């Protein structure tokens, strides 16, 4: 696997997603537990992408255990499935109006990276 180009793509994607909270400010008209959950999502996506890049670089998971590319691929596929879930998109769109489309486009890009990883 060409880890370096993939790591670069994961880092670029993480950088792009990290700007979404600024680009799509939180709606002031909504509150409650859903908001608290939604506020954790962008940092979580970024952390997941960062951990995947580090795992590919180092061959270790966040706990220092050996990890293989297939495990990283599996985790990234889980991330895309979670973000693509309609209830996730609805929640994020309510809290951050306009964010669903860029999130979905980011997952499209992540799927392209996953395909590169699978092809080796």
Q: Per-residue pLDDT for 1 more than 70?
A: no
Say how many residues make up the chain: 120
Structure tokens at 3: 């880890």
pTM over 0.85: yes
Q: Write out pLDDT tens, residues 29-78.
A: 877 878 889 999 999 999 999 999 999 999 999 999 999 999 999 999 99
Instruction: Please report, for the chain, the start and end positions of each structural domain, with discontinuous segments joined by +.
Output: 3-119
Give the DSSP per-residue string, 58-70: HSB-TTS-B--HH
Residue written as token pair 């590319």: 69
Query: Which residues have C-beta within 8 Å of that of residue 89, sequence separation ≥ 6?
Result: 83, 100, 103, 104
- For residues 60 and 54, what is the distance between their CA atoms, to the nearest angstrom? 8
What distance, in Å, lies between the first and last C-alpha atoms of the chain? 4
């Amino acid at each position: 696997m060409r880890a370096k180009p993939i790591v670069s793509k994961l880092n670029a994607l993480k950088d792009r997603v990290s700007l979404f909270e600024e680009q799509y400010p939180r709606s002031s008209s909504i509150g409650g537990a859903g908001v608290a959950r939604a506020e954790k999502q962008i940092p979580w996506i970024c952390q997941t992408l960062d951990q995947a890049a580090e795992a590919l670089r180092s061959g270790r998971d966040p706990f220092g255990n050996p990890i293989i590319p297939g495990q990283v691929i599996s985790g990234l596929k889980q991330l895309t499935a979670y973000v693509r879930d309609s209830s996730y998109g609805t929640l994020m769109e309510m809290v951050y109006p306009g964010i669903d489309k860029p999130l979905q486009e980011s997952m499209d890009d992540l799927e392209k990276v996953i395909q590169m990883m699978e092809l080796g």
